[in-house]
A and B are shown apart, each in its own frame.
Chain A
Amino acid sequence: MTTYQYTDVVPEARRPWDHSRSTALRAVALVVLAGIFGSVINQLTGLSGFLGWYVGLAFAVPVIAFIGSARHGWNMASDRIATSLMSIAFATVAIPWMSIFWTVLKNGSKAFHSSYLTSDMRVTSFSDDLHLGGLKHAIIGSLLIVLMAAVIAVPLGVLAAVYIVEVKGRFARLVRFLTQAMSGVPSIVAGLFVYSTVIILFGTFSAVAGSLALAILMLPTVARTSEEVLKIVPEDLRSASYALGASQARTTFRVVLPTVASGLVTASVLGVARVVGETAPLLLTVSYFVGTSASITEPIASLPVYVFTGLTLGDANSATRSWGGSLVLLVMVLVLFLLARFASSRLTRKR
């Protein structure tokens, strides 16, 4: 019988499964080779410019991936080809996205000046010099309208999902059908609906009316996403809670919803992202105001309507202001998204 001999030497901690460096090197080599191939194609065929080069590259990538990995056998080769196709697909989708972002950034940044974010259009008109005026009013208005819409739509959407998944009530199928149908409502119809009810009833455009219109558009997104999120909660968890003598309400609000808190935050963010750029319903319900205001019962400014207004005027300065508004809108969505992520990670870490 042998006794195990311990050594005091602690070996260096390694990650033998981590091939990221060689993978990265291989990817760079692949892209460089494919890039050269793309240039050759450009020279030999009628394809030209960036897109012509990209088409050549896109065709070359899987071919080169196959040639490079064929000696490792078919398993490895098919894996590499699939990976390269996936990467090409991703890059192809990313091109229009980056193009949009770049265009907005390039044109929108021209509108920026030191007080662009801190002044409004009360004493400035769109065609005035670009170092005058700003869009503080539109930022405040947009935030106000969208947050009010979220306050209405997020609880309703989550509760609808709870009704469908947790309560499994008698009308669950009907509710699910209606939310599905609602997601097909064109935004201008939502605007018209609020116009023909709220606006006509109260006789004035208002931020609140805009929030109602946006809430109608947001609700189905929040409800459907929350439903999917709730469905992945394992049945075991509910059983555990019920076996401890918890009611269904306590189980839902203390066990199920906290477990999927981050998923519900994502659902809300998707809802906000869905409506933040909506223009038509706001034109019909909120209208536009040139000054800074936080009065929810009156017309106020919003970024989409600010952008729209600038574009309808037709002159260069107004158009540049529209680009600036678009840039701010994009950044605002990004910031809201990051804030929500941060909040949900804080939420889950605290527990």
Chain B
Amino acid sequence: MDNNINNDLGTPEVIVPSVTADAGVVEDRTQRNAGNLEVSRRGGLEAVGVHAWFNKHHALADVSLHFPENTVTGLIGPSGCGKSTFLRLLNRMHEFIPKAAMAGEVLFEGEDIYAPGVNPIEIRRRIGMVFQKANPFPAMNIGENVIAGLKLARVKVDDKDALIEECLTRAGLWNEVKDRLKAPGGSLSGGQQQRLCIARALALKPDVLLLDEPCSALDPGSTLRVEETIVQLSETMTIVMVTHNMQQAARVSDYCAFFLSDGGPGRLVEADLTTNIFSNPSDKRTADYVQGRFG
């Protein structure tokens, strides 16, 4: 494996939650986490010097990023800069790609999820994921799709119907499908399928939820509902969300991380409180990107 990495951007900043943040919700959230940094760090998710390769193609280089517990972090950056790849590294989905490789550590509750002896199945159950492309199970109906994770993981559910309703409501899909829960999952529209996949991930009640452009196919109303759900879930969950919608990143996330590829592997350019990224970024490329000047 070709391992000579020259990190010409220098070591990316690791976010240190700052108490000097601007006003508003973000400040409250930040203070909640800033008080006991060590505790939250043990509970959250942290990438340390992560790289990713597809065969010989170096797709992602030296990303170090901390996701404090119960916060929403937005990953932004132009298409192809490695956001999805990074996300898949965080719950061990990267390894399903033939000839893929990685370097670095991903600490979940202080333990490296790539350490020998770690059960990837358990990791994926606790770090849920919604894919960029909706992928409902065609052989199951809508209701079965929602609780598929529990079925597949052999988890007992006491009240299936209540769980299905709760998850579909949170994903903003309940009203549209409550009369046809027995219809096949593939019979939904693209945006409905996307929300079904969100509901499916919620049913497992993961500790961390990775969302890859969860609203890319949604109308403004459904988007708003999903965003409300994300904010609500972040009371009890750590959420990492890829989005191409700057307003969405600004509305929903506490922290933002900007990725960029200059032809070579994608790198983390800057990560900070969302307010800082949008109002006062320290890198000019970040400012250009969030203001729509390139990318």
Interfacial residues, chain A to chain B (CB-CB below 8 A): 234-247, 250-251, 254-255, 258-259, 261, 348, 351
Contact = CB atoms under 8 A, between A and B. Distances in A.
B135 A254 contact: no
B204 A244 contact: yes
A245 B149 contact: yes
A241 B185 CA distance: 14
Contacts of A244: 124-125, 128, 148-149, 152-153, 200-201, 204
B142 to A, nearest CB: 11
B122 to A, nearest CB: 7
Nearest to A248: B121
A239 B144 contact: no
Contact of B128 (A234, A237, A243, A258): A243
Interface in B124-168: 124-126, 128-129, 131, 133, 135-141, 144, 148-149, 151-154
B204 A245 contact: yes
Given A250-B152, A348-B139, A242 B96 contact: yes
Contacts of B138: 237, 259
A149 to B, nearest CB: 28
A214 B104 CA distance: 54
Contact of A236 (B91, B131, B139, B149): B131
A273 B125 CA distance: 44
A69 to B, nearest CB: 39
Tell me what chain A mostly uses at the interface: helix, strand, loop, or mixed: helix
Contacts of A235: 96
Contacts of B135: 234, 236-237, 239-240
A255 B135 CA distance: 12
A254 B151 contact: yes
28 contacts: A235-B96, A236-B131, A237-B138, A239-B93, A239-B96, A240-B136, A240-B197, A240-B200, A241-B148, A243-B91, A243-B93, A243-B128, A243-B129, A244-B124, A244-B125, A244-B200, A244-B204, A245-B122, A245-B125, A245-B153, A250-B152, A251-B152, A254-B152, A255-B152, A258-B139, A258-B140, A261-B139, A348-B139
Q: Select the residue from B129, B184, B197 with max chain A CB neighbours within 10 A.
A: B129
A198 B37 CA distance: 73
B264 to A, nearest CB: 27
Given A240-B197, A242-B124, A246-B153, 18 more contacts: A236-B133, A239-B93, A240-B136, A240-B137, A240-B200, A241-B148, A241-B152, A243-B124, A243-B128, A244-B124, A244-B149, A244-B153, A245-B121, A245-B126, A246-B152, A255-B139, A255-B152, A259-B139
A236 to B, nearest CB: 4
A72 B200 CA distance: 53
A248 B291 CA distance: 44
Contacts of B151: 254
Contacts of A242: 93, 96, 124
Nearest to B151: A254
Contacts of B136: 240
Given A236-B133, A254-B152, A255-B152, A246 B93 contact: no
Nearest to A233: B138
Contacts of A251: 152
Contacts of A238: 96
Contacts of A261: 139
Interface string B35-75: 00000000000000000000000000000000000000000
A239 B131 contact: yes
Q: Select the residue from B122, B136, B149 with max chain A CB neighbours within 10 A.
A: B149
Contact of B137 (A243, A250, A259): A259
Given A250-B152, A251-B152, A351-B144, A245 B139 contact: no
